[in-house]
Structure 1
Amino acid sequence: MPTEILMPALSPTMEEGTLAKWLVKEGDTVSAGDLLAEIETDKATMEFEAVDEGTIGKILVPEGTENVKVNTAIAVLLEEGESADDIAGDAGAAKPEAKAAPAEGDSDEKPAAAPEAASAPPAPKSGDGERIFASPLARRIAADKGLDLSQIAGSGPRGRIVKADVENATPGARAAQASARGDAAPAASGSAPAPAAAPAGLATETVLKMYEGRDYEEIKLDGMRRTIAARLTEAKQTIPHFYLRRDIRLDALLKFRSELNAQLEHRGVKLSVNDFIIKACALALQAVPAANAVWAGDRVLQMKASDVAVAVAIEGGLFTPVIQDAETKTLSALSSAMKDLATRARDRKLAPHEYQGGSFAISNLGMFGIDNFDAVINPPHGAILAVGAGVKKPVVGKDGELAVATAMSVTLSVDHRVIDGALGAELLQQIVDNLENPMAMLA
């Protein structure tokens, strides 16, 4: 029985994507792990792999198609002994089933075109009546081996049981696999965020009527811009922000940075002020561990490592790549990691695990001449530091005399559900101390 290949969810928040390029054509033979297509998500272009072996019988969605919903049938895979004649004449009739199924599913009511010996057993159901999703080949192998599919954990998209699962399975395998994996699949599906609602506001028709007769250019929203709009609207509506502001004197840091760069020049390393800021925030999160936390719906997760996200502007949006274990990295290692992540972010070549996670973020607009601003928290982070430009300012010294110093204004946006005012002030004080005493960060 032909198997539909469905549009995959390549990230927890993906609802639709662009089928950028097919890497196979009709008639090609593929095995599990072979690359099938390149798919553009809201953040990056990613490769999609086959989970079963067979022959590409029909491509249903041509390359270049935009806004393809997750779980939409995009191609049909034929198994051994099947031919293009086995594909239902109206391929579109299979799509509603594919969209509704939580994984690559097989219609239960397709006409049997292959000989009975080659047909797969009907889709089984679990003890509570729920359908168990498995490929036709997996069902046939399970029937031959006398295996109960309800006892097998699937490794395909959204838990679908594929050939490799039943070939390696033994009775009672599901319980063992679930125990070994810590019930990872149910936890992942349970923690995945619900589809983001469209930002509230004036209806499109209302806005268009307001500007009838005026010249304008309509700019189509791509996946990234739609996601940014939805997530930031959600953040401002659901996160109780409060803001803490400080000026940081940079003279000692700028002198120290100049000396270090002179010594590191032969290694091709040039440290930026932002590298010091990342290090200062990472060490501050270790010094104030209660603030190194994220909001998880009905609980707070206090993180052990300082995984710091840094906003990177790209054409049409932004990424927040995450530097993991930033507190353990040297300044030169942080600088190298940040340059690599920023370059690949601008090329949209980051993998999801490189821009998801973290507990704290930094948004630096100082290079654009911005004195200060308030940043929006990126959920589920507990806080984000908005960094302005370092500028010459008059200051009063310890002896009461007026002097000129380079000062940088920063604003810490804090999620009050995670961090209270005094705790946020303590975290910001640690960041200030680290930046005003940069040599101590190397101790």
Structure 2
Amino acid sequence: MPIELKMPALSPTMEEGTLAKWLVKEGDTVKSGDIMAEIETDKATMEFEAVDEGTIAKIVVPEGTDGVKVGAVIALIAGEGEDASAAASAPAPSPSPAKAGEGQAGKAGQGEGSAAPSPSPSQSAGADRAPPSPAKAGEGLEGRVKASPLARRMAEAKGIDLGALQGSGPGGRIVKADIEGAQPGAAPKVAAAPAAAPAPAPAPAAPAAPFETEIPHEAVKLSNMRKTIARRLTEAKSTIPHIYLTVDIRLDALLKLRGELNGALAARNVKLSVNDLLIKALAVALKQVPECNVSFTPDQLIKYSRADISVAVSIPGGLITPIVTNADGKGVAAISSEMHELASRAKDGKLQPHEYQGGTASLSNMGMFGIKQFEAVINPPQGMIMAIGAGEKRPYVVDDALQIATVMSATGSFDHRAIDGADGARLMKVFKELVEAPLGMVA
């Protein structure tokens, strides 16, 4: 029997991915550890290694295929002593497990409900029930209409006469897809429905019409990353009550310290950025105000004992947030070196899931683009994100005298379910103090 290569789960939340590129072809011999393919998850393109030895007998899923479910068979390998051509001619499993049940509807005890994606409660219930007993009218007779148990229950609910349908399943069997595409008709007489029962379900809605415009344009297919960003931002803005708190912060002392540290670190080829120091400041502030270093769940408040800072990095096609773990306990030189390495691998799509999934709070800096101030969207399940604006020369009161100083605006977005406004204000105050007197955070 050929060995089945299945779509791996490359992150804890991965449900499907894109088979971006095959690095082997049919007939190639592989051994454990060989890189076979590149798989695009929602945040990165990762390499898929072989764990078995043998010959690639058949590539089931061609490269460039989107939406390949985790666990779907993507290739077949002929083992030692096995004829690769015979293995290639064996029937290949469907590359999409979600549809696997459709072709098996004729087997005893199987209905479409267990294999169909996201069934409705009524469909799930129908799929879990045993087939109707032979004692019911019409069953066991040679002229009986052939239909799956789920199709019968759906037809009854929608008022569809099974005898008027042409089945598309094996041997003309009526399956779920036939019911979904049928219009309600005269229903067989059944017991009266409860008073609160809704009217028969309407026919399935037609697919959304494609976008049309007379303006010259290019239609670009959404990447897995863009789909994930859209889903998570929609979730965050629709379910998390954001509260925004803004402070103006004088940067002159931080810039002076950065220059001195870079002079001392030049021999080690380390060059600190302002962002490196702000990562450290946010981490230390979270340790001093632990009420903001939290995550909200429906029945618990998760309080973190260390500050892991997710840092927004723009990459081709989207945004990713590599994590500086234990940032409160690391020196700024270590943070700078780690952040440089993480950002470089992020732009190459080479981060591992644990390097961008998690974190206790986030920092997003758009000051390098000249953005004065903005409000960032919380990255769930975190409880806050700090948005950093550009440092610019402004009139500023220093020691009761109006002077020109380098000032930036920082805005904290807080999950108001988990963090009270007063606690958020305390965090912003501590963050401001650390940036304006930076020796306190590097000591």
Tell me the alpha carbon deviations over residues 293-333 of structure 1, each in whole angstroms, 9 at most, x when there is no partner: 22344322211121101001112211100001111111111
TM-score (ref. length: structure 2): 0.71
**Map of 1:240 onto structure 2:** 241
Change (3 A) 1:387 1:96: closer
Structure 2: how far apart are the matches of 1:297 and 1:30? Answer: 48
Tell me the alpha carbon deviations over residues 143-162 of structure 1, each in whole angstroms, 9 at most, x when there is no partner: xxxxxxxxxxxxxxxxxxxx
Contact 1:308 1:322 in 2 (8 A): yes
Say yes or no: does 1:12 pair with 2:16. no
Residue 82 of structure 1 deviates from its aligned partner by 4.2
Contact 1:248 1:436 in 2 (8 A): yes
Match of 1:205 among 209, 214, 236: 209
Residue 253 of structure 1 deviates from its aligned partner by 1.2
Structure 1: how far apart are the matches of 2:229 and 2:338? Answer: 25
Contact 2:59 2:76 in 1 (8 A): yes
Change (3 A) 1:75 1:207: closer
**Map of 1:350 onto structure 2:** 351
Tell me the alpha carbon deviations over residues 190-215 of structure 1, each in whole angstroms, 9 at most, x when there is no partner: xxxxxxxxxxxxx963742xx2x322
| 41-50 or 350-359, larger mean C-alpha shift | 41-50
1:375-414 map, 5 Å: 375-399=376-400, 401-414=401-414
Residue 365 of structure 1 deviates from its aligned partner by 0.4
1:263-282 map, 5 Å: 263-282=264-283
Contact 2:39 2:46 in 1 (8 A): yes
**Map of 2:308 onto structure 1:** 307
Structure 2: how far apart are the matches of 1:54 and 1:390? Answer: 59
**Residue type of the alignment partner of 2:305:** K
1:147-186 map, 5 Å: none
Q: Percent identity?
A: 57
Contact 1:272 1:335 in 2 (8 A): yes
Residue 260 of structure 1 deviates from its aligned partner by 2.0
1:23-42 map, 5 Å: 23-42=23-42
**Map of 2:287 onto structure 1:** 286
Residue 372 of structure 1 deviates from its aligned partner by 0.1
Change (3 A) 1:417 1:31: farther
Question: Secondary structure at the residue paired with 1:61?
Answer: coil
**Map of 1:428 onto structure 2:** 428
Structure 2: how far apart are the matches of 1:276 and 1:219? Answer: 38
Residue 57 of structure 1 deviates from its aligned partner by 2.5
Residue 26 of structure 1 deviates from its aligned partner by 3.2
Question: Secondary structure at the residue paired with 1:71?
Answer: coil
TM-score (ref. length: structure 1): 0.71
Residue 30 of structure 1 deviates from its aligned partner by 4.4
Kindly indicate which of the two structures has a greater share of residues assigned to helix: 1
Structure 2: how far apart are the matches of 1:288 and 1:223? Answer: 36
**Map of 2:74 onto structure 1:** 74
Structure 2: how far apart are the matches of 1:204 and 1:341? Answer: 40
**Map of 1:218 onto structure 2:** 219
Question: Secondary structure at the residue paired with 1:36?
Answer: strand
Tell me the alpha carbon deviations over residues 200-242 of structure 1, each in whole angstroms, 9 at most, x when there is no partner: xxx963742xx2x322221221111111111111111111111
Structure 2: how far apart are the matches of 1:339 and 1:204? Answer: 44
Q: Which runs of 5+ in 1 are unaligned?
A: 102-107, 110-128, 130-202
Structure 1: how far apart are the matches of 2:60 and 2:74? Answer: 5
Residue 440 of structure 1 deviates from its aligned partner by 1.2
Question: Secondary structure at the residue paired with 1:389?
Answer: coil
Q: Which runs of 5+ in 2 are unaligned?
A: 102-106, 109-127, 129-206
Residue 46 of structure 1 deviates from its aligned partner by 1.0
Residue 28 of structure 1 deviates from its aligned partner by 4.4
Change (3 A) 1:250 1:51: same
Structure 2: how far apart are the matches of 1:75 and 1:218? Answer: 31
Residue 286 of structure 1 deviates from its aligned partner by 1.2
Structure 1: how far apart are the matches of 2:95 and 2:19? Answer: 16
| 355-364 or 46-55, larger mean C-alpha shift | 46-55
Contact 1:41 1:223 in 2 (8 A): yes
Contact 1:251 1:405 in 2 (8 A): yes
* Bigger Rg, structure 1 or 2: 2
Contact 1:70 1:99 in 2 (8 A): no
| 23-32 or 264-273, larger mean C-alpha shift | 23-32
Structure 2: how far apart are the matches of 1:39 and 1:262? Answer: 43
**Map of 2:362 onto structure 1:** 361
**Residue type of the alignment partner of 1:26:** E
**Map of 1:119 onto structure 2:** none
Residue 37 of structure 1 deviates from its aligned partner by 1.8
**Map of 2:442 onto structure 1:** 442
Tell me the alpha carbon deviations over residues 366-403 of structure 1, each in whole angstroms, 9 at most, x when there is no partner: 0100000000011111100000011122123343x322
Contact 2:281 2:435 in 1 (8 A): yes
**Residue type of the alignment partner of 1:338:** M
Residue 59 of structure 1 deviates from its aligned partner by 1.4
Contact 1:72 1:99 in 2 (8 A): no
**Map of 2:318 onto structure 1:** 317
Structure 2: how far apart are the matches of 1:98 and 1:420? Answer: 44
Structure 2: how far apart are the matches of 1:299 and 1:356? Answer: 20
Residue 96 of structure 1 deviates from its aligned partner by 5.5
Contact 2:280 2:332 in 1 (8 A): yes
Contact 1:60 1:91 in 2 (8 A): no
Change (3 A) 1:207 1:298: farther
**Map of 1:373 onto structure 2:** 374
Question: Secondary structure at the residue paired with 1:246?
Answer: strand
| 233-242 or 259-268, larger mean C-alpha shift | 259-268
Change (3 A) 1:296 1:54: farther
**Residue type of the alignment partner of 2:430:** Q
Aligned-residue Cα RMSD (Å) equals 2.7
Change (3 A) 1:284 1:261: same
